[in-house]
A and B are shown apart, each in its own frame.
Chain A
């Protein structure tokens, strides 16, 4: 059994069919990219993985445990598409809050806060209220809250939106770092050059998983030079 297994998941909001019979699996220690245009159902799918949305049909297993499960939640770090931060509080206070929810001891917590803020390059802004942060800074702080409790699985919904190329590269280097420590990462994106950096890709369109495989496999299969072309051809545009 793979680390993450999505089995036959379908979901609809009212009469709108948002996900259709999704089957996918992610191996431990891989960076898995969920690629798809706006409205494809990426957020819906990752919310199901973390357990804050229950699919109408099908089930999801993570580390052999059926979602939702507190065991899974304990080992997962989640970064939502919108920055879920307390605006009045400083970055440190936001992190202290999330850290104590995960039950980190205060001495550990201090070290972890410094470490994750170092990672996202915000260590100089630790005591600034979040409402004074720029959009990209908030994005990075959200990422920091997901990394705080050293999760084994990271689920990141468009983590690099609004972040400049230099910092984006640094963040991807950090993902590689985490991966070397055996951490599995699931990211959603609609940026093609980011897709190329993933170990595995799932192409999602209108709630249907069109293809799954490594970037090179996909390019070979569809005889294209870039993921962008793969995407266009599976979409039937070519």
Chain B
């Protein structure tokens, strides 16, 4: 019953604090949209100057490029210096010769892809049939946004709950209401549970917002079950919340909560699947094993891209539960510093 009193109070406070509520609900959608706009663009079609190429190659190049023109090497260099073209292609001594503008890696690779595709279709000496590509998971349409999408969803849930929960619990301490509460018969576990459930209610709504928006508005690739996805995001939010209230013990003011962002939050984004870690040093992979977001993002990725179910990601879910439980117990322990009872 006392747990419920805390839940009710948090709900009332949130209702009054419209800005924070908006931050929690709207801000993730806004940032997600921005990332979508930036990452989800169509493939870049390079602009190429050519000289001395056989017609079939030129024809094929036309299909793969945004702009195509013919000119001498000097003219091409001039055009690249002016930033209007990306590469110069010619054939010297039977070998294709490519001069790249070179300052933008993604454009470089776009040029190389276009050139390779064109040359391949020209080199018809091998009379093999067109190869057949099938996808075990995902599809040809799966792009960067789809791949990092699950990580982003996990991150936003984690980030905003961490900030709001941390600051809210910190205020309880700095405004003296924590002491007042501990002068009442409330048990320490009731206080922590009240917080987890009170914010839990809002994190459910927040998760619902983010997941719905990502899948149905931004059309993020998703073959898993909606409610299973929601379950993981909520669990992740609970972990973030209990970590935030715990860390707020070590902060004296709101600004010091913000100082946890580069230390606790940002490394998790980098190490939890935004980039492929398999090529990195062993120690980075080991560090990532201690981060809740690693497991949340992994489970979300498995679900959204590979259509995994709860039972397929049971390990990740179990680890998240352990994190949340340990943080929860530590919260109760830390409150002993205020009242031993």
Chain A contacts to B: CB under 8 angstroms:
47, 50-52, 54, 68-70, 73-74, 76, 78, 80, 82-89, 93, 97-98, 100-103, 129, 145
Contact = CB atoms under 8 A, between A and B. Distances in A.
Contacts of A103: 1-2, 185
B180 A78 contact: yes
A214 to B, nearest CB: 28
B180 A88 contact: no
Contact of B177 (A78, A84, A102): A84
B191 to A, nearest CB: 10
A73 B177 CA distance: 16
A44 B337 CA distance: 15
Contact of A52 (B4, B8, B17, B183): B183
Contacts of B182: 51-52
B180 A76 contact: no
A158 B13 CA distance: 28
A145 B12 contact: no
Interface size class of B (residues with CB under 8 A): 20 to 34
B13 A68 contact: no
Contacts of A83: 176
A51 B182 CA distance: 8
A98 B338 CA distance: 19
A50 B183 contact: yes
A50 to B, nearest CB: 5
- Output the residue of B176, B177, B338 with the most chain A CB within 10 A: B177
B146 to A, nearest CB: 41
Given A101-B185, A102-B184, A80 B179 contact: yes
Given A51-B340, A54-B340, A78-B180, 17 more contacts: A47-B179, A52-B179, A68-B339, A78-B183, A80-B179, A80-B180, A83-B176, A85-B175, A86-B9, A89-B9, A89-B16, A97-B5, A98-B180, A101-B5, A101-B181, A101-B184, A103-B2
A98 B180 CA distance: 9
Contact of B13 (A47, A89, A100): A89
Contacts, number: 78
Contacts of B180: 78, 80, 84, 98, 145
A73 B180 CA distance: 11
Contacts of A69: 341
A52 B13 contact: no
Nearest to B181: A101
B186 interface: yes
Nearest to A47: B179
B2 A51 contact: no
B5 A51 contact: no
Contact of B176 (A50, A82, A100): A82
Contacts of A101: 2, 5, 181, 184-186
Contacts of A87: 175
Interface in B157-213: 175-177, 179-186
B14 to A, nearest CB: 9
